[in-house]
Amino acid sequence: MDLHPPSDRPVMPNFLICSRLPQFQLLFFCCFSSCLLSVSPAHSQKAPLHTFTNIQGVKFEGRIKAVAGKKATLELANGRDYTTSIASFSPADQQYINRWGSGNPSASIPAPVKSGIKLEKINQLIGHHLFSDGNLWENPAPLVAGRLRWPKESYTPYSSSYRGYPQGAYRFIGVRPYSVVLYGNDGKVSSLSIVFANKGDFFSAAGSGEKHFIKGKAVTNEASGLKKIMNRDARIISDSLTKLLGQAKRQKFGDGSTRQMVFRWDWSGHSFLLSNVEGEYVSLSIQPVAFADQHGRSKRTPDSIIRKRAQENVEKRSNGDVVIKNIPMVNQGPKSYCVPATAERCMRYLGIPADMYVLAMAGQTKLGVGTSPAILLDAVGRDIKRKGRSFKIWDGKIKIHELTRYIDKGIPVMWGLFSTRDFNRIANARTLARKNPETWDDYKAKTRRTSASTKLPIERNTSHIVIITGYNKASGEIAFSDSWGENFKERWITVSEAQQISQNRFYVVDL
């Protein structure tokens, strides 16, 4: 039955068509055609090719074929159909899909209702100019980060982050946060995470933890002292949100080993999710209501999309360097979170949502001490596999020909090592020398000559993990990236030097 004939054929109104049918057929036809139109109004005209972005910031091309309830069916660029929840898309694309679903693709979707509470009251509660209108998810991420004065941490074509480790006088909802981060996808704000008292920053290995006082009494830097501070922080935040937004509801949020119970308050399309994970951290996450309704579970992005994006990130330079671009940076700050920070980077790069504080909980990170790669990555590896990706671990020496199997298709490799002072000194010198060599042949010859005589003793208390992001076969070097900020995004070391401080263990999140 052709309910939508081509425009060059005369279209007869439904009531004229129906009037020619017997009475029982008339009733059936009208009901049936009404159902079809309500289930898939997107068929009224062919949707154009559109670049979609999901809530993890992954972009892919396709066109809308049908919209039915809370699901949309897309025809991908490769011709395959893909059906998924509308809530799995970015807020902007949710509006785009809903416009097509309404049968009026040019219509505008109104901003969320403000729930009767003015945004000025919300900003006053927070203590910062976070909201400029009733829909944070349509605001440019750099603009909001600028209002908050949160510095840029990372920017790629797919995602961005703005992270700060505030000083002691800074307050968010009346409480001192240790870490604040705003995430952006497709240029717009996608979520915020504010971490208050926590075992990582509270007694950081770098010694930046400060003394806290409750009712004039010093709190000991032990687990019992941390628990008191965490409970106090959670109580202040909860009382403040409840006073303005009403009673919270309890729900689960997250997947697998990172699932947790949260208190939830909603306002104008925004969910405020408060976590108090015993002995771990107190955090406030601000998420789109649709994502909170999904309990923080995101639909898997098709492998074909991730594989294409990863391959496009491989950069081949004229000097023989092969390097992966656009791996998001995460600055672990003054705490020993190199493992969860590095895991977060690799997971987000492949479209898997992650947060280093939540990952540290899975890794059983101890007060003021680092995380066990084996424990954390074993737990996280199970979650990664459950999300449809593979997770590989192997032991052995560093061999460029083995690394090329992953680097050449845009997949980074996590590497365990001892990050000694001498190692970092040489890596810094190598990286600087590469920028302005007299000639590339001279650089290669000098590097191989000095590398042969370099001795790097192991220091067991410098255990660390980084990402191998590239290689150069001609110079015998590998590129690696530390989770210490943009200044450490790409450094170089020769394989023979790297082998001396290697723990000979490698980890890969693969497709």
CA dihedral 141, 144, 145, 149 (to 10 degrees): 170
What mean pLDDT is predicted for residues 328-357? 89
Angle subtended at Cα 426 by Cα 480 and Cα 478, rounded to the nearest 5 degrees: 30
Report the SS3 class of residue 243.
Answer: helix
Q: How far apart are CA 364 and CA 370, in angstroms?
A: 9
Q: What is the pLDDT of residues 56-101, one digit of tens each?
A: 667 788 889 888 888 889 888 778 888 888 877 877 788 788 877 7
Higher pLDDT pick, 318 / 1: 318
Q: How far apart are CA 326 and CA 492, in angstroms?
A: 17
pTM of the model: 0.72
Higher pLDDT pick, 255 / 31: 255
Q: How far apart are CA 440 and CA 475, in angstroms?
A: 9
**C-alpha of 399 from chain center:** 30
CATH code that applies to domain 303-510 = 3.90.70.10
Of 22-31, 405-414, 430-439, where does the model show the most confidence? Answer: 405-414
In whole angstroms, how far apart are CA 56 and each of 288, 300, 333, 334?
A: 12, 10, 23, 27
Q: What is the pLDDT of residues 14-68, one digit of tens each?
A: 322 333 334 434 333 343 334 333 344 444 467 888 888 876 667 788 889 888 8
- Residue-level pLDDT at 56: 60
Share of the chain above pLDDT 90, in %: 51
Task: With CA atoms as reference, report the closest residue to 292 among 334, 330, 250.
Answer: 250
Higher pLDDT pick, 303 / 120: 120
Q: What is the pLDDT of residues 198-227, one digit of tens each?
A: 887 776 544 332 222 234 344 455 667 888
Contact 67, 101 (CB under 8 A): yes
Q: How far apart are CA 114 and CA 120, in angstroms?
A: 11
Sheet with 179-185, edge to edge strand ranges: 152-155, 159-164, 179-185, 188-198, 281-288, 270-277, 260-267, 249-253
Q: How far apart are CA 449 and CA 459, in angstroms?
A: 25
Residues pairing with 194 in the sheet: 180, 284
CATH code that applies to domain 43-101 = 2.30.30.700
- Residue-level pLDDT at 188: 93
Q: What is the pLDDT of residues 121-158, one digit of tens each?
A: 999 999 999 999 889 999 999 999 999 999 999 999 88
- Residue-level pLDDT at 301: 76
Q: How far apart are CA 36 and CA 3, in angstroms?
A: 9
- Residue-level pLDDT at 507: 94
- Residue-level pLDDT at 303: 82
Is the pLDDT at 364 greater than 80, yes or no?
A: no
For residue 347, give the H/E element and its range. Answer: helix 338-349
- Residue-level pLDDT at 221: 55
The domain segmentation of the chain, as residue ranges, is 43-101, 119-293, 303-510
Share of the chain above pLDDT 70, in %: 81
Sheet with 59-68, edge to edge strand ranges: 50-53, 59-68, 71-76, 81-85
What mean pLDDT is predicted for residues 284-313? 89
In whole angstroms, how far apart are CA 378 and each of 1, 215, 334?
A: 55, 42, 25
Q: What is the pLDDT of residues 463-472, one digit of tens each?
A: 899 999 999 9
The average confidence (pLDDT) of the chain is 82
For the purposes of burial, counting CB atoms within 10 Å of the CB of 380, is it exposed (0-12), middle (13-18) or buried (19 or more)? buried
The tokens for 129 are 């100019």
Higher pLDDT pick, 284 / 115: 284
Task: With CA atoms as reference, report the closest residue to 227 among 153, 294, 282.
Answer: 282
Contact 128, 149 (CB under 8 A): no
Please identify which residue in the block is written with the tokens 């017997």: 22
